[in-house]
Structure 1
Amino acid sequence: MKIRPVINANATLTVLGGSLMPPPVIEAMAAAARHFVDLPELYVEVGEQLAALTRNESACVTAGAAAAITLVVASCIGEPAQSFPVDAEVVMFASQRNGYDYSARITGARIVEVGPSVAELEAAIARRPACVLWFAGAHYADGALPIEEVIRVANGVPVIVDAAAQIPPVSSLWHFTTDLGADAVIFSGGKGLRGPQATGLVLGRSWLIDRCRRHASPNQEIGRGLKVGKEELLGLLAAVEWTLAQNEPALLAGYERSVDLWLDALQPRPGITAYRGYPSEAGQPHSRCIIRHPDRQTLIDALWNGDPRISVGTFGVAPDEIALNPQTLEPGQDRVVLDALLRLVG
């Protein structure tokens, strides 16, 4: 095979494969692959275990976070007997419109935009939409009301939080739902949780999760094509168990040491500027090393075409900057990234 592996100093991007699965996840998936099971029964059992682990009423595994949006919106619209597409409304802040709108609109729902105004949100809620869809992350905060205010104003309309990349912190697993009162929260299974890339996780109220399961494969409903296999079910369960067992403060401290390594070596270099960017591009509680370079694209291309192939970030930085993210690196790869940069910047 001619495909070259990538050292990922960018982020938990789907285009790069999300994240790397730790051994317990791989082992759980391999074990699942060796047996036939009653899949609907396993679906429920894994959900119950995930709910208990994450301090939520209920949980279900989906075929990615985008699939979770479709299933949750469909569940807010109605029972699985409902025909799709339908005429329903999903309220979103105009500033949070993004490429994942399609996951909601595939149900037939119309996106109703509001601004960062309680009055606008109240007017939209008065029309009794199917739900409010709110995106977590620092890059979605401008132009939107805080989630606490959205939940307060919702008045019985379900509030759904997309927090696909909001781990760390691991407390996000219960913060939006159990602590704040959102009806459901969605995570990518293949980002900070380091589970199978083709998984997502919905946590929240039992009535909503029950509907998600009934809308999902193997049922002949809107989610039939969004299939989750036994390998993904057990793999994501193992990933959540593994994540909860980690020492998160030590993990975050390790990220900061990588950023310190880069800054100590790059700040003295003439012709470039290196500084600490905090939080991460998704608002996670760790730094990135931001590098300003007069010919950014040449540097990006040289890293990508080099040996080893290295991907760096461009999201959330200026047009002449790149970002080095420690979250997706294996031990020792921070030094490999630094050595490659030093060869290029002199």
Structure 2
Amino acid sequence: MVSYDELGVRPVINAHNTLTVLGGSLMDPAVTEAMSLAARSFVDLNELQAAASARVARLTRNEDALVVSGASAGLLLGALAMMTRSDPRAVGQLLEQGAAALPRTEILMHRAHRIPYDNVLTLAGARVVEFGNAIQTQDWELDAAIGERTAGIVYVAGSHLSGAALPFEVVTRIARDRDVPVFVDAAAQLPPRENLWRFTQAGADLVAFSGGKELRGPQASGLLLGSRAYVDACRQHAFPLQRFGRPAKVGKEEIMGLLTALDLWLERDLESDLARAEHVAATWITELSDLPGITATRDWPGEAGGPWPRVRVQWAAGVHPPALEVAARLAGADPRVIVFVASECAFWINPVLVTDTEAELVGAAVGRELGRTAPAS
């Protein structure tokens, strides 16, 4: 068995977040066992996806569901579905002539919701049309943006992006009046559990969640939930069909691993998880507040608007080196600790993903790095 050591790759302590570049999250042994068991047999992927879809839909209180290879894969399939709906002629036109042959290729987004991941919409052949501005959005701006070529609306969920955007209920009301589907990118919007059905019950046609973040399933997995009509429209483009969603294939191992992770997460004591995170954060604050020139405070919510605490470690300019330099030193030390740079003189440390032992190591590593840096004279 090949190991990280053999490759010369050193694992890190993740005090940042459930980032793809850091491997998402860590899987429960039951999840890896389910994946290992799935890897030992051949299976008809169409049958497996149908059975998995029915199970996920029931557990998440949705009409239909599809296991995909990540939230971005869900966004890709959702864009294709909104452009073609369930029209086999449109699917054929897309395959033979490209998206330019379709009557609907415009996907509307709040300007305040533009994120690095929405480039998969253009990969699908859509054109993103912005409405509103970075400071505020009026409901008439969305209504005016809807036209004959509008395929759908993408709404990026999360309190960190809500300030300049229309309330979700306003978006779904306007979309419903104009017969336009709404796709919600909710990749990191768990918990609460209710989000698994809240968006669709409030009018969303499709919603995507990452499987490798809070659900703690395989990193290359995700959930696409929604109405039967639009999830089925996504299936018309998805693996195992030889269509545009084929590169975003999800294997039998990921499907079974994600089903197991979903079962475990729905039974998880989230209140206990939150209490533990608060305890770790409070311990870090106590330890780090004694460092020269350092202010350590509880920050809320988490990086993607999640309901988790984190600790902001901050100092005045000139008291310590820039935060990027401090973060680089922490990442190169032993143990390697990854933190989230907030500004030139601040970074966050996240208590959610660290074990109890790692929490002590993070506190000690940050203390060593900032404690040994003498204040500027």
TM, length-normalised to structure 1: 0.96
Identify the match of residue 171 of structure 1 among 181, 186, 194: 194
Q: CA deviation at 1:128?
A: 5.6
Q: Residue 161 of structure 1: CA displacement? A: 0.6
Match of 1:345 in 2: 370
* RMSD (Å), alpha carbons: 1.3
Would the aligned equivalents of 1:68 and 1:202 in 2 still touch at CA under 8 Å? Answer: yes
Among 262, 266, 279, the alignment partner of 2:301 is: 279
Q: Secondary structure at the match of 1:201?
A: strand
Q: How many residues align?
A: 343
Name the SS of the counterpart of 2:65 in structure 1: strand
Pairing of 1:52-201 with structure 2 (within 5 A): 52-78=58-84, 79=86, 80-84=91-95, 85-87=98-100, 88-115=105-132, 116-127=137-148, 129-154=150-175, 155=177, 156-178=179-201, 180-201=202-223
State the match for 1:234 in structure 2. 256
Secondary structure of residue in 2 paired with 1:215: coil
SS in 2 for 1:301: helix
Q: Distance in 2 between matches of 1:183 and 1:206?
A: 9
> What stretches of structure 1 move > 4 A for 4+ residues in a row?
none
Among candidates 306, 320, 330, match of residue 303 of structure 1 = 330
Deviations 1:238-259 (A, max 9, x none): 1111110101111111111110
The answer to whether the 8 A contact 1:177-1:183 is kept is yes
TM-score (norm 2): 0.88
Q: Distance in 2 between matches of 1:229 and 1:257?
A: 38
Separation in structure 2 between the aligned mates of residue 125 and residue 332 of structure 1, nearest angstrom = 53
Gaps of 5+ in 1: none
With 11-20 and 324-333 compared, the bigger mean Cα shift is at 324-333
CA distance in 2, matches of 1:329, 1:183: 36
AA paired with 2:121? A
Cα distance in structure 1, aligned partners of 2:270 and 2:129: 38
Structure 2 CA distance for aligned equivalents of residues 3 and 62 of structure 1: 29
Who is 1:49 aligned against? Answer: 55
Q: Percent identity of the aligned residues?
A: 45
Paired residue secondary structure (2:220): coil
1:113-135 CA distance string (max 9 Å, x none): 10011111011224461110010
SS of 1:83's equivalent in the other structure is: helix
8 Å CA contact retained: 2:324, 2:344: no
Q: Shift in Å at residue 91 of structure 1?
A: 0.3
Residue 48 of structure 1: how far off its partner (Å): 0.7
Residue 81 of structure 1 aligns to which amino acid in structure 2?
G
Contact 2:189–2:209 (8 Å) recurs in 1: yes
How many angstroms apart in 1 are the aligned matches of 2:355 and 2:65? Answer: 30
Whether 1:323 and 2:348 are equivalent positions in the alignment is yes
1:334 aligned residue (359, 362, 365)? 359
Please give the secondary structure, in 2, of the residue aligned with 1:56: coil
Q: Does 2:33 align with 1:27?
A: yes
Encode CA deviations 1:191-211: one digit per residue, 9 max, x unaligned.
111110011211110111112
